[in-house]
Structure 1
Amino acid sequence: MTSLVNTNNNDFIAVVIQYRLGAFGFLSSDEVFRNGVVNAGILDQHFALQWVQSYISMFGGNASQVTIGGESAGAGSVMLQDLAYGGTQGTSLFRNTFSASPYLPMQYGYKDFVPSQSYYAFATAAGCPPTYAYGNSSQSIFRCLVAASSQKLQNASFVVSASGVFGTWGFLPVTDGVFIQQLPSQQLLQKQLNGQHLLVGNDANEGPLFTPQNITTEADLLAWLRLTFPLFTNDDIAKVLLYYPSTNASVDPMALDFATNGISGPTALNESQVGSGQQQRADNIYAETSFVCPSYWMAEAYSDRGRASYRYQYSVPLGTHGTDLTAYFGPVLPNQPADFERAFMQILGNFIVRDNPSISADVANGARASNPSAPNPATNWPPYSNFAPYQINLNTTGGTPYQAQPLGAPFNVTQYANATNDITLVNAYTWEGGRGYRCDFWRSVAALVPE
């Protein structure tokens, strides 16, 4: 966090926390709930926020001006802290929320079939199978697990996680009725929230890391949809195809892939630098259900009732999941010029310190721009609302092309070094062929996803 703090004149203190993962953080079943807690990893985070309230003043911090932030699962965790205890905590633990590509996986009830099966599979791998307690009333699976070694539990956690469907995880947050009371999509709709201001966004190509890269026909796509959304009926899948149309039945492996501009021409429905046709169709479906639409729902949730939200998209090519991290935490990659890093770091810094991500024109345009003082929409960043669903598109233009294989790309793609900042204002609802409409659809079927 040093580069981020230094770039913002050391105006705030950064606290980095840790929390339990895998089965240690997210083991869930009726037996776990009765004997301990589910969502232990999320509760670890909550405890850390309570610690900050108690002690940050000793480091020169202000407990009334805390911003929580994260990326991917960290951003999803931030979302769950926003929703904690039904949104009844107000600003008692934090004032602001920064959520970069918030990950919202399938969220089941704590004793539903899926988490319970993961519990039994974990217990079996750890040497505590369901038959363990039969004929021995003084014992239980839970007690057997408590007595097992950490190494055995680590191995069991790995076995379960590695056996799932590609793009899914074995142990995830669950609806427990206490800390996490509802599906996030529904609670966000009701605007039952903690905190006051939100900065939220997504990357241009969130999906390829989590989607099998062998989807070439619509039959492949249908098979993937049925595997990914097991609760969907044929009618539900037909609706997905309606909202995600495609004009080609297969992919030309020799076709040149390219980045879309989000406004005109081909859209993310069928085209990106990573893929096209049915493959891109699947990549975009996963991206929007798991990362992009949750960021839209969060922006809508914080759009009134004395709150304010600010949206962005990170579009610097290639823009796959996680490639934005170095832009605001450093060290930057060759396709992230120093001007762009400074702009993104000050966007985040101003939000933390001033509750508003707006930055000066010279920073937004960058020192290498032909006219650094030219008007730029990031100098007066408009809050997001259903009436005016605007977002800032964080991109670069020009530069020297080079070939690289960045995170999430199945092959080398063209990127650009020494580019200049290209920060624009766009309509997030109509963006990429009507992304807002598709997010409304996913919320309408959220109970079947579930998310």
Structure 2
Amino acid sequence: MWHTPILLSLFAATLFGAKADDLNVERITAQRSLAAPDHLVDLGYALYKGYHDAGTDLNVWLGIRYAAPPRGALRWKAPQTPETDRSVQDASEYGSVCFQSYPAIAGAPPMPEGDEDCLFLNVYAPSGPRAKKLPVLMWIHGGGYGWGDGRTDMSAMINDNDNAFIGVSIQYRLGPYGFLSSSEVNAKGVPNAGLLDIAFALEWIEKHIHRFGGDNTRITVSGESAGAGAVLLLSLAPSLKSKFQSIAASPYLPGQHAYDGDVPTQKYYSFAAQAGCGSSGPVLDCLRAKDAAVLQLANFNVTTSGKVYRTWAFDPVTDGTFTTGLPSKMLSSSRTKLNGRAILVGTNANEGALFVPQDEISTLEDLKAWLALKYPFFSAQDVEKVLAMYPNTDAPDDPSAAKFATNGLTGAANTNMSQVATGHLQRANAIIGEATFICPSYWLSTAYTASSRPSFHYQYSVPFAAHLEDVYAYFGPNQPQQPPSFSRAFRNIWGNFVTRGDPSVAGEPGLDSWPRWKEGREAQMVNLNTTGGTAYTATTQFGVQVTQFEEPGVRNQFGVVGAWGWEGGRGERCEVWRELVGSVPT
């Protein structure tokens, strides 16, 4: 049994990269210098004074307000332009983070940190005479649309790419503040307010980034997990007029219901009842009048009481304007017009284990019960189809069975084998990983290729390669299994895509000629792994011990592999998952 306090401390420290940047605060404070006059930026509606970071040679502006505080009457409304304030505002500290909540974990405590006044962004811009008309990397944090913040220090990524582009990290409304939905919300406000925040921040970049030395025609929109899910939805949004390219790392695709469907409506009234506004009829005016602390407690109660392990209660919905259909179907439709010019897509080798209760599945009956909970709309035939894709004996799992990392090409596949599990438990890990993250990444890459737009694909495989671990490699701080040579190459992959639209890295074996993604059985991707090193034992985010490798002796191991046949036929499984979308609205 995993102890809740240990799990929550690991979760708060690492899940979705939301808090890893806190380790950089001391360095930032020590190395910043007083802002010179040229660090004063006039945005028209406000003036912000940033500072020069001598350690990174970057000019930095933190806590820039890009939208008005969405409080009171502006709750569940589209983001609005901030009111004009011509006084000089200090931009040396991060703005407040958005209200958030732990997901459905037994014993999770409330999270008091946060504020509704949280629509801020941060700019990291190279200095000097060459810092003009630079490309821009926009970063959207992950966190299941219910957790996380924009306090990601982008300095290491920019520095390892010779300060060749500008970084912008953003925040957006989370949980019920950003994704509450019902017919009443649609009539008196907007569903998907959090997605509209992201689009509004993109418009801000297009309008203002030239003031920081950026080129608004060369924007790369990037994100991880829910942030990458937002990238996917931005690519499909017909109302979006922006032109950009994208990086989607582990794109998260939860169930997406109609804005007035039974599931979001039930959550709407559960939230309203918890806030003391009733469980039927008109309640939105009451919710807008409630104190923020009341709403936050309601958010906590609804989210953490969920039946599905480590999920949040409020997700994007199909609203008919910004989101006009199920992403899985839109990505396969020849009628869909994509917004992005090109895309780089990646996933991790073991995406799913973090979202599966590791101490509750050991038999076929356990697995079927978990499937019924996770996918309540599945028919008996759907369940059998899924089990057939992830074959295993019917015998209970053997706790003493050998566990090891698979190589993706030969021998055992991670459909029932990994470092943390075998058998039925690993089937669950693989199911959630492919259905929620990996198959959406395949569909996204294929949609770009089908539209004759460049698409590049990778898998991050450095053991254990759980969900989130890649974020440390490209933004830092590096983890022991991520030596500087690996992180530098990974950052160069992203940086070359940002600056040239091609992730190939000259002089790096396995990366010097990156193939474009192809449809079907000819699809190829680059596998990013390491070999050698000194073994050590690490504890995963969900409390299980695994073997990883650190210096000395770690070497990069990059190479092009077939994506269709990877891990025992992933391409075919993803096609079956696409067929199941009628039962899993994604």
TM category, shorter: over 0.9
Aligned positions of 1:121-132 closer than 5 A: 121-130=270-279
Q: 2:202 aligns with which of 30, 49, 57?
A: 49
Q: Does 1:169 find its partner at 2:312?
A: yes
CA deviation map 1:104-127 (0-9, x unaligned):
001000010000000000000000
Q: Does 1:234 find its partner at 2:377?
A: no
Instruction: Please give the secondary structure, in 1, of the residue aligned with 2:411.
Output: coil
Q: Does 1:74 find its partner at 2:227?
A: yes
Could you tell which deviates more after superposition, 185-194 or 432-441? 185-194
Query: If each structure's helix is expressed as a fraction of its own residues, which one has the higher value?
Result: 1
| Match in the other structure for 1:382 | 515
| Match in the other structure for 1:415 | 548
Q: Does 1:206 find its partner at 2:351?
A: yes
Contact 1:97 1:199 in 2 (8 A): yes
| Match in the other structure for 1:137 | none
Q: Does 1:115 find its partner at 2:250?
A: no
The Cα of 1:192 is off from its aligned counterpart by 2.6
| Match in the other structure for 1:448 | 583
| Match in the other structure for 2:476 | 330
Aligned positions of 1:78-227 closer than 5 A: 78-85=231-238, 89=240, 92-130=241-279, 140-164=282-306, 165-190=308-333, 191-213=336-358, 214-227=360-373
| Match in the other structure for 1:427 | 562
Aligned positions of 1:226-265 closer than 5 A: 226-247=372-393, 249-265=395-411
Instruction: Please give the secondary structure, in 2, of the residue aligned with 1:171.
Output: coil
* Unmatched 5+ stretches in structure 2: 1-153
Contact 2:525 2:561 in 1 (8 A): yes
Structure 2: how far apart are the matches of 1:446 and 1:315?
28
Q: Does 1:403 find its partner at 2:537?
A: yes
Aligned positions of 1:266-285 closer than 5 A: 266-285=412-431
Contact 2:538 2:548 in 1 (8 A): yes
The Cα of 1:258 is off from its aligned counterpart by 0.6
The Cα of 1:193 is off from its aligned counterpart by 1.1
Structure 1: how far apart are the matches of 2:483 and 2:540?
16
| Match in the other structure for 2:169 | 16
The Cα of 1:440 is off from its aligned counterpart by 0.4
Instruction: Please give the secondary structure, in 2, of the residue aligned with 1:102.
Output: coil
Instruction: Please give the secondary structure, in 1, of the residue aligned with 2:169.
Output: coil
| Match in the other structure for 1:373 | none
Contact 1:196 1:306 in 2 (8 A): no
Structure 2: how far apart are the matches of 1:192 and 1:290?
23
Structure 1: how far apart are the matches of 2:279 and 2:249?
40
TM-score for both structures, normalised by structure 1 = 0.93
Structure 1: how far apart are the matches of 2:493 and 2:235?
21
Contact 2:460 2:529 in 1 (8 A): yes
Structure 1: how far apart are the matches of 2:326 and 2:395?
35
CA deviation map 1:130-162 (0-9, x unaligned):
35x6xxxxxx31111111111101111111111
User: Which amino acid in 1 is paired with 2:227?
Assistant: G
Instruction: Please give the secondary structure, in 2, of the residue aligned with 1:383.
Output: coil
CA deviation map 1:60-115 (0-9, x unaligned):
10111000001011111111111112xx64xx524210000000001000010000
Instruction: Please give the secondary structure, in 1, of the residue aligned with 2:331.
Output: helix
CA spacing shift, 1:57–1:271, aligned 2, 3 Å: same
| Match in the other structure for 1:349 | 495
Instruction: Please give the secondary structure, in 1, of the residue aligned with 2:321.
Output: coil
The Cα of 1:166 is off from its aligned counterpart by 1.2
The Cα of 1:424 is off from its aligned counterpart by 1.1
Structure 1: how far apart are the matches of 2:337 and 2:399?
47
Answer 1 or 2: higher relative contact order, Cα 8 Å, separation at least 6. Answer: 1
Structure 1: how far apart are the matches of 2:368 and 2:176?
31
Could you tell which deviates more after superposition, 410-419 or 394-403? 410-419
The Cα of 1:167 is off from its aligned counterpart by 3.4
Stretches of 4+ moved more than 3 A in 1?
none
Q: 1:295 aligns with which of 441, 445, 448?
A: 441
User: Which amino acid in 1 is paired with 2:381?
Assistant: D
| Match in the other structure for 1:32 | 185
* Unmatched 5+ stretches in structure 1: 134-139, 365-375
Structure 2: how far apart are the matches of 1:50 and 1:349?
22
Q: Does 1:60 find its partner at 2:194?
A: no
| Match in the other structure for 2:127 | none
Structure 2: how far apart are the matches of 1:447 and 1:163?
27
Q: 1:437 aligns with which of 562, 565, 572?
A: 572
Structure 1: how far apart are the matches of 2:173 and 2:314?
11
Contact 2:420 2:545 in 1 (8 A): no
| Match in the other structure for 1:314 | 460
Contact 2:450 2:519 in 1 (8 A): no
Instruction: Please give the secondary structure, in 2, of the residue aligned with 1:189.
Output: coil
The Cα of 1:254 is off from its aligned counterpart by 1.5
The Cα of 1:248 is off from its aligned counterpart by 5.2
Structure 2: how far apart are the matches of 1:304 and 1:439?
17
The Cα of 1:168 is off from its aligned counterpart by 2.5
Contact 2:537 2:547 in 1 (8 A): yes
CA deviation map 1:241-282 (0-9, x unaligned):
111111352221122211000001000111011111100000
User: Which amino acid in 1 is paired with 2:352?
Assistant: G
| Match in the other structure for 1:369 | none
The Cα of 1:360 is off from its aligned counterpart by 1.6
Instruction: Please give the secondary structure, in 2, of the residue aligned with 1:15.
Output: strand
Structure 2: how far apart are the matches of 1:46 and 1:352?
19
User: Which amino acid in 2 is paired with 1:383?
Assistant: R
Contact 1:68 1:94 in 2 (8 A): no
